[in-house]
Structure 1
Amino acid sequence: MAPSRNRRPGFSRRAQYGLFLGYVIAVAGAIVAVVLLVFATLNPPAFAPLRAAVAEVTTPISSGFAGLGRGIASIPTGIGNHFTVMQKNAALRKELEANRALLLRARTLSYDNHRLKTLLHLRERVADPVVAARLVSSSGSSTRRYAVLNAGSWQGVRIGQPVRGPEGLVGRILETGPNTARVLLITDPESIVPVRRTRDGLPALAAGRGDGMIDVRSVSVSNVAFEPGDVFVTSGTGGIYSPNVPVARIVRRSRDTALARSFAQPDTLDFALVQQGFMPIQQPTPPATTTAPAP
């Protein structure tokens, strides 16, 4: 059935007045908009104060509606963040409980270690420092890895003494002069350092490659798995390097032999510390000669 062509609102005067008022407001708004457009085009400086006044009136209203919209839009995000924070809190509580167990175990082991040392009357050896000096140069392009220290025999530096930096082991003294010394870096192919893995005490050897990296290989167990991030420190075996000095960290998963990066980088190292050997070899003293009494 076709719609009626009579669009009159009926015999209600209220409806007729409302429709008429709507038309009047629409026409008046269009006229005002045209007047303002013409005024802004013909005289922009005079229109600027009116525009600023309108902006002052409408800005709080628009800001309120914008804040209300942001608040409504942030409700789903807030709910999601709430559940995410709850999950993270649960994970952190679980990690805290695990770390508390590890801490208690470490305290127990430390107490037992101290008690056994006291029982056996063991004495810890400490590598005394000799001198702190500056590394003035290092070989970066050659296959051999050396560094020059601006301290020598006049400062107490001797061949074989270990050299370390703030981050870890640097190498050992190879040659000495009056005021300079040559350091064999741990990345040199001739350098071999006895080390152990921190997480399980696995003994290994750290050998230089000549390219700035280190090969770590196991010495006691075959088919050993090395994981990225495994940290190796000196073991004290051999009597040159004191134990627990950081040496290298594994960078690639491997078995038996793994690639590692040294903690101390001589290219960026300013100062280094020369220490006494952990267990220096004592030179035998010649027997005292006795003279026969005169007859």
Structure 2
Amino acid sequence: MAPPRNRRPGFSRRAQYGLFIGYVGAAAGALIGAVLLLLSTFNPPAFAAVRSVFAEVTTPVASGLDWVRRSLGSIPAGIGSYFAVHGENARLKKQIADDAIAVSRAQTLDQENRRLRALVKLRDVTTDAIVAARLVNSSSSSTRRFATLNAGSWQGVKRGQPVRDPTGLIGQVIETSPNSARVLLLVDPESIVPVRRSRDGLPAIASGRGDGLIDIRSASVASMGFRVGDAFVTSGTGGVFSPNIPVARVIRTQGDIAIAQPVANPDALDFALVQQTFLPEPTPTPSPSATASPQPAP
């Protein structure tokens, strides 16, 4: 059986109070409406004053509700903007990383081009250049220091020829094959180069240490001290290295020995120039051929 539509609140105090408040609110609203209607009809100025009072009271509430509405309405747009900004930030970071790689490559190419231009200029002004070749590798992790050139005997490279770059001396060819050559670097313990001090011509001997540095020892009888910053160049003694090729610069001293930094770093080089030895090799003297003794006449 269906329940009746009009149900009385019965003994529920809450229902009774709610119903009573509803009736009171309805009656009060109707009364206020009637008063405002009569006031607007018979006394418009008073009605305008009352309307202004209600406007002053309801305007802050309406403003607050409007702010809440606009704030709630802007939430989807804010979420979309966040993801859009996040994506744009990621794109810009990737672009910055790509630009940094491009700048690094450009700087590397610029340095290589400068070295090549200097090497070409050096080859143009020197008359003893054999070939400009690429330094394929160099051994920097062991006590023995060698490098490999991608040019050999077919390109005119011979054992004993000096190898340099525009900044200074690198080493000396010790082995050759048709298309490659092995270079003994200045910093190798077996390397010995006659040098002289630039400022006063003091003769000295530069020998490798095996740790990337060079020992400088005075070759004169008189003991003359070294100073930090002294520059040494090849002296031409021995007839292998041409004079005035930069070799090393002193970085510290230990008694009568100076520890020097080589001017040219083969680990940072791409190309090198092979030169003729300073003095040509002596021409072997032909042995006198045995002359046939005259045969006695029969």
CA distance in structure 2 between the aligned counterparts of 1:277 and 1:288, rounded to whole angstroms: 29
Q: Residue type of the partner of 1:236?
A: G
**TM-align CA RMSD:** 1.9
CA distance in structure 1 between the aligned counterparts of 2:286 and 2:216, rounded to whole angstroms: 41
Counterpart position of 1:286:
286
TM-score normalised by L of structure 1 = 0.55
Are 2:259 and 1:262 aligned?
A: no
CA distance in structure 2 between the aligned counterparts of 1:214 and 1:182, rounded to whole angstroms: 20
Are 2:146 and 1:146 aligned?
A: yes
SS of 1:159 mapped into structure 2: coil
Shift of 1:282: 1.1
Shift of 1:254: 4.2
Q: 1:281 to 1:149 in 2, by over 3 A?
A: same
- The answer for unaligned runs of 5 or more in structure 2 is 1-62, 64-125
CA distance in structure 1 between the aligned counterparts of 2:127 and 2:193, rounded to whole angstroms: 16
Are 2:217 and 1:240 aligned?
A: no
TM-score normalised by L of structure 2 = 0.54
Q: Residue type of the partner of 1:151?
A: A
Counterpart position of 1:218:
218
CA distance in structure 2 between the aligned counterparts of 1:192 and 1:280, rounded to whole angstroms: 20
Are 2:216 and 1:228 aligned?
A: no
Residue pair 1:224, 1:255 contacting (<8 A) in 2 also: no
* Cα-to-partner distance string for 1:227-277 (whole Å, 9 max, x where unaligned): 111100000000100000000000114441010000010000111111111
User: What is the percent sequence identity of the aligned residues?
Assistant: 65
* Cα-to-partner distance string for 1:48-69 (whole Å, 9 max, x where unaligned): xxxxxxxxxxxxxxxxxxxxxx
Shift of 1:222: 4.4
Shift of 1:291: 5.1
- The size of the alignment, in residue pairs, is 171
* Cα-to-partner distance string for 1:9-40 (whole Å, 9 max, x where unaligned): xxxxxxxxxxxxxxxxxxxxxxxxxxxxxxxx
CA distance in structure 1 between the aligned counterparts of 2:151 and 2:214, rounded to whole angstroms: 27
Q: Residue type of the partner of 2:263?
A: F
127-136 vs 259-268, which deviates more? 127-136
Higher-Rg member (1/2): 2
SS of 1:225 mapped into structure 2: coil
Alignment of 1:70-149 (within 5 A): 128-149=128-149
Residue pair 1:214, 1:262 contacting (<8 A) in 2 also: yes
Q: Residue type of the partner of 2:252?
A: R
Shift of 1:158: 0.6
Counterpart position of 1:206:
206
SS of 2:154 mapped into structure 1: helix
Are 2:165 and 1:194 aligned?
A: no
Counterpart position of 2:177:
177
CA distance in structure 2 between the aligned counterparts of 1:203 and 1:234, rounded to whole angstroms: 9
Q: Residue type of the partner of 2:159?
A: I
Counterpart position of 2:159:
159
Shift of 1:287: 3.1
Residue pair 1:234, 1:241 contacting (<8 A) in 2 also: yes
CA distance in structure 2 between the aligned counterparts of 1:221 and 1:286, rounded to whole angstroms: 40
CA distance in structure 1 between the aligned counterparts of 2:266 and 2:253, rounded to whole angstroms: 25
* Cα-to-partner distance string for 1:161-181 (whole Å, 9 max, x where unaligned): 111111100000010011000
CA distance in structure 1 between the aligned counterparts of 2:212 and 2:231, rounded to whole angstroms: 17
The runs of 4+ residues in structure 1 deviating greater than 6 Å are none
Shift of 1:288: 5.0
CA distance in structure 1 between the aligned counterparts of 2:285 and 2:253, rounded to whole angstroms: 50
